[in-house]
């Protein structure tokens, strides 16, 4: 974390310097008050006659020092905030960037709620830690050391009180902090759970309401929140015991100073003003120790949060960029070359090839979702994948943009292993639209422009028209500038899918993947979509996942995926002749359609 502070070293230096100035003014005040009492009021060196002018001049000095100390304190606070807030901003941006680079496997392991907590609450705790380190520690440390020095300078006998009280306060602080420290990490984990429940219920509110599960989810939230509150109460109770104990020690110390001071005043070795100054100094010393314990509470929380944020910052993405360079490997005619024994050239037109690919999700004990898959999708071809739910269709296409990596075998795009591509280059060649359409809380136009932010109005209109989205867009009074609510709740399922398709089509990538993207469209709209795609984007390689034969029957080839393997592959007519599985699916769907 220190590397993030280096940029703001000047603020981190100025804040404690001005704090030293503020504390110095505080330490001067008791001695000036002693002068007012002894000389201005009691007139000890003037035969018992007070000096009003001394009271006024010394009082004005005290006011001046207060103003000066306050100015130093303000400047210290300004620079401390500039340092801590900018530090937190940089850490938060880097943490978010790291999260964006993690693979699906890694984000699933952290959980969404935990990542939200780490980027928000945990980084706020670290900011507080930075603030205390460059401001709080300086103030309490200086008050403690300066107070002891000033107290001993008044009279050495006052030091006996400090020597007796200090061990009790230190033991008390160490005991309670040692009990509280382990609970801070647990506290953040409990907050993770609360955020997870919140995130799931906000994003899945329709399902909660549809199944009348509000009471169940309310109980689930109350359980998670109850655990959080319980942990917080444990910590607060510990510190609620500590504060009165320390106050008792502080008050006993003040009584001891008064008693010793009374004896010393009677003996003539100290003055009443010095006793008053000693009381102020002992209060400053012991209050500094008490504040230090509260600072250590902040430090403990900050350290626990720092470990959690570092887990994100130090987490290396499991899917890394490859070293293949398109510009270095491209030939004058627009093809790529790659050397592996001999030089080969591949057309840069969206060819996809699976070579003996097997895949198992991490943490499943090696249970294969895909087993020894091999096929080639030629440039410009429409290739469909048909199969039952859970047979591995989505897992298969997720390997192309490297959302996951193969367990065995290779996936090649334009003849290059996808693991050899820089991720930006690979994913730039691919446009993908998912069954669950991710819609953002902005305008319809902005949602589509995710595919190509610099697209012209004509390109935007063409993509929406191809996706059959213009019908409902033009019916809206604001057209493309119609605002969309978060998650697209203001749109129907079919409208959200058509916006997602528009976004993918607008990208005009070499490879277009539809992962059951037309499931919410009626067959007529779906047929128009595929006809428009064929007419307007004939050069794009299209990979279509579907459940319905009606969605894929016009594809150049259809692959039947069963139990993680390719059971058959061919055109609609070929499969009707040669594949029993395909015929069974066709007959069952045709019969269902007739019914």
Q: How confident is the model at residue 265 (pLDDT cuts 50, 70, 90)?
A: confident
pTM (2 d.p.):
0.72
Query: The sheet that has 382-387: what strands, in order across it?
Result: 430-434, 511-515, 541-546, 382-387, 557-562, 565-570
pLDDT surpasses 90 at 511: yes
Percent of the chain at pLDDT exceeding 70: 94
Q: How confident is the model at residue 326 (pLDDT cuts 50, 70, 90)?
A: low
What span, in angstroms and rounded, lies between the C-alpha atoms of 188 and 116?
A: 11
Q: How confident is the model at residue 341 (pLDDT cuts 50, 70, 90)?
A: very low
pLDDT surpasses 80 at 364: no
Contact between 329 and 338 (Cβ < 8 Å): yes
Quickly list DSSP for 32-68. Answer: HHHHIIIIIIS-TTTTT---HHHHHHHHHHHHHHHHH
- If phi > 0 it is left, if psi is from -120 to 50 it is alpha, else beta; for residue 564 that is left
2-313 belongs to which CATH class?
mainly alpha
Beta bridge partners of 215: none
Contact between 585 and 561 (Cβ < 8 Å): no
Express each pLDDT in 143-200 by its tens digit: 888 888 887 887 777 778 778 887 887 888 788 878 877 888 888 888 888 888 887 7
Express each pLDDT in 32-46 by its tens digit: 888 888 888 888 777
Q: Give the dihedral sign, CA 129/133/134/135.
A: positive
Strands 511-515 and 541-546, by their bridges, are parallel
Q: Give the dihedral sign, CA 100/102/104/108.
A: negative
Express each pLDDT in 229-251 by its tens digit: 888 888 888 878 877 887 788 78
Q: Which of 516, 477, 470, 524 is nearest to 497 (CA)?
A: 516
pLDDT for position 317 = 81
Quickly list DSSP for 427-468. Answer: HHTEEEEESS----SSBHHHHHHTS-TT--HHHHHHHHHHTT
Q: How many other CB atoms are there within 10 angstroms of residue 9's CB atom?
A: 10
Q: Which CATH number fits domain 346-594: 3.40.50.300, 3.30.70.260, 3.30.70.270, 2.40.10.10?
A: 3.40.50.300
What span, in angstroms and rounded, lies between the C-alpha atoms of 575 and 452?
A: 38
What span, in angstroms and rounded, lies between the C-alpha atoms of 84 and 130?
A: 6
Q: Which of 357, 372, 345, 337 is nearest to 411 (CA)?
A: 357
CA distances from 399 to 51, 392, 402, 435, 525 (A): 90, 11, 5, 17, 29
Beta bridge partners of 359: 370
Name the token pair of 131.
Answer: 């603030």
Express each pLDDT in 418-477 by its tens digit: 999 988 888 889 998 887 778 888 888 888 888 888 889 999 999 989 989 888 888 888
- What angle, rounded to 10 degrees, do the helices at 137-154 and 158-203 form? 170
pLDDT surpasses 90 at 82: yes
pLDDT for position 591 = 59
Number of helices (H), then strands (E), belonging to the chain: the values are 22, 12
Contact between 48 and 42 (Cβ < 8 Å): yes
**CATH 1.20.1560.10 occupies which residues in the chain?**
2-313
- Mean pLDDT value of segment 346-358: 80
pLDDT, mean over the chain: 84
Contact between 588 and 419 (Cβ < 8 Å): no
Contact between 445 and 481 (Cβ < 8 Å): yes
Among the ranges given (48-52, 368-372, 559-563, 580-584), the one the predictor scored with the smallest mean pLDDT? 48-52
Q: How confident is the model at residue 76 (pLDDT cuts 50, 70, 90)?
A: very high
Which DSSP letter does residue 539 get? T
Name the token pair of 182.
Answer: 């382990």
Percent of the chain at pLDDT exceeding 90: 20
**CATH 3.40.50.300 occupies which residues in the chain?**
346-594
Contacts of 380 (CB under 8 A, 6+ apart): 349, 350, 538, 539, 540, 541
CA distances from 439 to 74, 192, 300, 452, 501 (A): 46, 25, 40, 15, 11
Name the token pair of 270.
Answer: 């100290």
Express each pLDDT in 272-300 by its tens digit: 888 888 888 888 887 787 787 778 778 88
Among the ranges given (9-13, 63-67, 182-186, 555-559), the one the predictor scored with the smallest mean pLDDT? 182-186
Q: How confident is the model at residue 594 (pLDDT cuts 50, 70, 90)?
A: very low
* Residue 408: strand, helix, or coil: strand
Q: How confident is the model at residue 89 (pLDDT cuts 50, 70, 90)?
A: very high
What percent of the residues of the chain are helix, what percent strand, and what percent coil, each to the nearest 5? 65, 10, 25
CB-neighbour burial class of residue 10 (10 A; exposed 0-12, middle 13-18, buried 19+): exposed
Q: Which of 89-93, 118-122, 156-160, 367-371 has the highest mean pLDDT?
A: 89-93
- Mean pLDDT value of segment 99-110: 83
């Amino acid at each position: 974390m220190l590397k993030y502070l280096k940029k703001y070293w000047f603020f981190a230096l100025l804040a404690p310097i001005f704090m030293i100035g503020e504390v110095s003014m505080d330490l001067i005040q008791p001695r000036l008050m002693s002068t007012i009492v002894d000389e201005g009021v009691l007139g000890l060196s003037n035969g018992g006659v007070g000096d009003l002018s001394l009271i006024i001049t010394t009082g004005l000095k005290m006011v001046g020092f207060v103003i000066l100390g306050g100015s130093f304190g303000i400047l210290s606070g300004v620079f401390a905030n500039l340092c801590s807030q900018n530090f937190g901003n940089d850490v938060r941006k880097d943490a978010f960037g790291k999260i964006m680079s993690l693979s699906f496997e890694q984000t699933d392991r952290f959980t969404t709620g935990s990542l939200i907590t780490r980027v928000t609450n945990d980084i706020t705790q670290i900011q507080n830690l930075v603030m205390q380190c460059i401001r709080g520690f300086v103030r309490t440390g200086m008050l403690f050391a300066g107070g002891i020095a000033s107290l001993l300078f008044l009279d050495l006998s006052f030091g006996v009180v400090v020597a007796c009280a200090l061990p009790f306060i230190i033991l008390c602080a160490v005991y309670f902090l040692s009990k509280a420290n382990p609970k801070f990490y647990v506290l953040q984990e409990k907050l993770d759970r609360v955020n997870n429940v919140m995130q799931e219920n906000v994003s899945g509110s329709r399902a909660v309401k549809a199944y009348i599960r509000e009471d169940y989810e309310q109980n689930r939230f109350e359980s998670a929140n109850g655990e959080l509150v319980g942990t917080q109460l444990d910590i607060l109770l510990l510190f609620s015991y500590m504060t009165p104990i320390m106050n008792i020690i502080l008050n006993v110390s003040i009584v001891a100073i008064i008693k010793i001071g009374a004896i010393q005043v009677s003996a003539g070795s100290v003055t009443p003003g010095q006793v008053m100054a000693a009381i102020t100094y002992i209060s400053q010393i012991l209050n500094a120790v008490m504040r230090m314990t509260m600072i250590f509470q902040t430090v403990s929380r900050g350290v626990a949060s720092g470990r959690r944020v570092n887990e994100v910052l130090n987490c290396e993405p499991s899917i890394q960029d490859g070293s293949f360079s398109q510009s270095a490997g491209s030939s004058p005619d627009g093809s790529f070359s790659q050397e592996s024994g001999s030089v080969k050239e591949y057309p840069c037109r969206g060819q996809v090839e699976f070579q003996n690919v097997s895949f198992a999700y991490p943490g499943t004990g090696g249970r294969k979702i895909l087993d020894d898959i091999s096929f080639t999708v030629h440039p410009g071809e429409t290739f469909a994948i048909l199969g039952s739910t859970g047979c591995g269709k989505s897992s298969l296409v997720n390997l192309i943009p490297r959302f996951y990596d193969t367990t065995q075998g290779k996936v090649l795009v334009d003849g290059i292993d996808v693991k050899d591509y820089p991720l930006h280059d690979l994913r730039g060649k691919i446009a993908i639209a998912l069954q669950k359409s991710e819609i953002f809380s902005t305008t319809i136009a902005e949602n589509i422009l995710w595919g190509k932010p610099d697209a012209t109005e004509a390109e935007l209109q063409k993509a929406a028209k191809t996706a059959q989205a213009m019908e409902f867009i033009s019916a809206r009074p604001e057209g493309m500038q119609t605002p969309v609510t978060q998650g697209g709740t203001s749109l129907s399922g079919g409208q959200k899918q058509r916006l997602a398709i528009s976004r993918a089509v607008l990208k005009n990538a070499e490879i277009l993947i539809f992962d059951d993207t037309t499931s919410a469209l009626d067959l007529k709209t779906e047929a128009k979509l595929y006809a428009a795609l064929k007419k307007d984007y004939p050069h794009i390689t299209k990979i279509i996942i579907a459940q319905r034969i009606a969605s894929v029957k016009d594809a150049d080839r259809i692959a039947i995926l069963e139990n993680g393997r390719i059971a058959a592959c061919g055109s609609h007519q070929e499969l009707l002749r040669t594949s029993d599985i395909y015929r069974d699916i066709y007959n069952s769907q045709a019969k269902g359609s007739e019914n």
